Structure 1
């Protein structure tokens, strides 16, 4: 009950302080408001950008590892292109070998892709990403089908000429009709449409989208292109097990199997790259950590100014209420009662500034930024309120301590 009374009395005194000199209070709280707004706005923008980018990179898969000629993360002038170009392409036999040998993967698949022009009657769509996949592709990567179905195992093994289209392609080729069961033509080969991917919509960056992609069986893809050791290089991808943190076990196993399959001696370096989607995700995360740090620095200066403003209000409040403090003490009020009374008041004043800053951030989330959707998360709201409370406590601790230590006789005489 005493805590409730303290809080209520502190709120009442804080409201009186607001009313007694509204302009002074607003100017003092402005620093906290701007500081919280800057920090939470930066965090909201960073979180929204990070989520949008990671969603745009969803085609890399989750907990997925791929075997390629090139590294995902290596670049720059020191990048040894000549060494990677000389590496052999993956082969279908290596895919079947890994499928039957690997123990630490939930699924293994192979795929190859190319850019093509797809036709249907007098309509055509250029720049289409065509992917030839094995049946297990759906077990490694997400393949959301909106209309129709995925390939059957028989269609994959017999290399049937069937295709799944992205919605943009389907709308362009068949603007006034249902594309299912219709024929399209790629490099002279006819394919029957059996499904449509779910629409992904516009992405923040120009990343591969299923809206402008199509998919056929791997065997059917090899009818269009020379794929393998001396042609186009396919990728082999593996889905790691949930308990394999960082895919360490799978990476070690795959490296040993691939070296054995290719007959590499112990002294020879790998002639393949093992790429994990977490490489790119970690790089993105580190970039946004730097941006978040900059947000703390920018907002920190404003909060520091706001903290001094609240401390100034509390010193004035102690001075104005010295007589009241003396009366409270003469009636038996303990030092901690006076201390908590002013601390709660400082925290309440700081929370007003913090809540105002959070409301301002919430309002900017309604601004239309195209494909970037700003979302104010609960964690950021809690962070803003927590920082506001902390600033209130730090700013109010000295004035509250001075008030608690006042001599009741001297305090009453100050009137």
Structure 2
């Protein structure tokens, strides 16, 4: 064990001497590894952060949730809108029908939304607000960032009361510096009482409504204000934990909806059942392709870096041929020489990789709007591991050449 520690120390000393005595040459040789590790880890950090951001912003869809609506989700390829445009939209009566009969659901709700709404309070106003009409059970299906106050109850929902939960930007615009709970504002000629507010969310990279400029009202109130022939509500259903994959729930909902709409066995469904897993799977597919593309591009940078390490090791072997001969004449075995040069190659490559990782770390401090870059431990481990592999592959041939040298010929070399 002691001999291996001594060998490692000697190899480290030789590597450090090579780095210090030929600083410019070594830096130029390691630049390829640094750039390659920076490229591949930067891509992975960027893709990881984007994927996390997108999935966090898709929380508005809910967990274990399916949506019964007119249009299906569309991912990839041409979207055959002409097949769906003449379908009837779901309605409140169908929501009541499902909520009373479905047995494999934890909660059932209906929602719709309208954008571009202006709200006023005295001389203050704010425009381009998204108003969402929902039933009281919506809060148990979808994650709503409720801050102060409360959500409306079943009585307020069924009676279509003029109550609202508003976002942080609406609070700042209509009620600056005061507690908005219990206060009123005007929207499309009607007075609404604020019963709750939402926490500040900030900009989202992707997702549903921006909750900072969103307002929740009871579905009946929304329907009274904004119901038109272009309305396109959706029924959202949260499945039971025991129903893995929500297959039983989907079968039950499909049968109930076909019965409700009196569809014959030979007729196609006149509705779509969309599941949150479809969105997540599409997102994972996109980012998987980005991972692959980034890795392929970065491979060429690492290839250049590997040749740089190999070049510096060939030069190092030639410069230290006489020393190798002396070591062998004193009893150093081939494995000792091989390990010495191989460790040196790995050390130099890892050093270049650490420089690349440091550059990626600095990259995480640059603001990218709503996208927060996070460098995870697995990215660091990957960077160091790839650097070590590149060093091993680049140094194995020079190390083998050094190990097979004839000690007499090596000592006589100049």
Q: 2:374 maps to which residue?
A: 375
Q: How big is the shift at 1:161?
A: 2.2
Query: How many angstroms apart in 1 are the aligned matches of 2:240 and 2:341?
Result: 55
1:33 counterpart residue number? 34
Q: Tell me, which stretches of 5 or more residues in structure 1 are unaligned?
A: none
Query: Structure 2 matches for 1:145-224, cutoff 5 A?
Result: 145-204=146-205, 208-224=209-225
Q: Aligned residue for 1:275? A: 274
Alpha-carbon offset, residue 111 of structure 1: 1.4
Which residue of structure 2 lines up, in the alignment, with residue 122 of structure 1? 123
CA RMSD of aligned residues (A): 2.5
- Whole-angstrom CA distance in 2 between matches of 1:270 and 1:102: 18
Moved more, 199-208 or 308-317: 199-208
Give the C-alpha shift of residue 266 in structure 1.
Answer: 1.9
- The 1:99–1:26 alpha-carbon spacing in structure 2 relative to 1, beyond 3 Å, is same
SS in 2 for 1:57: helix
Matched residue, 2:81: 80
Contact 1:351 1:385 in 2 (8 A): yes
Aligned to 1:98: 98
8 Å Cα contact 2:350/2:388 also seen in 1: yes
- 8 Å CA contact 1:56–1:203 kept in 2: the answer is yes
Structure 2 unaligned segments of length 5 or more: list them: none
SS of 2:215's equivalent in the other structure is strand
Secondary structure in 2 aligned to 1:119? strand
Q: Which residue of 1 aligns with 2:345?
A: 346
| Cα separation, 2, equivalents of 1:396 and 1:237 | 59
Residues 182 and 192 of structure 1 are in contact (CA less than 8 Å); yes or no, is this contact kept in structure 2? yes
Aligned pairs, number: 412
Hey, what's the Cα distance between the residues in 1 that align with 2:77 and 2:307? 48
Contact 2:309-2:349 at 8 Å conserved across structures: yes
Instruction: Describe the superposition over 1:378-400 as per-residue Cα deviations: whole angstroms up to 9, x where unpaired.
Output: 22211111111110011011112
Residue 305 of structure 1 is matched in structure 2 by 304
Change (3 A) 1:7 1:99: farther
Residues 104 and 249 in structure 2, CA contact (< 8 A), matched pair in contact too: yes
Contact 1:111-1:132 within 8 A present in 2 as well: yes
1:296 CA drift (Å): 2.1
Is residue 391 of structure 1 aligned with residue 390 of structure 2? Answer: yes
Q: Which position in structure 2 is the counterpart of 1:89?
A: 89
Counterpart of 2:350 in 1: which secondary structure? helix
> By how many angstroms is 1:15 displaced?
0.3
Task: Give the structure 2 partner of residue 412 of structure 1.
Answer: 411
Distance 1:258 1:249, change over 3 A: same
Corresponding residue number in structure 1 for 2:110: 110
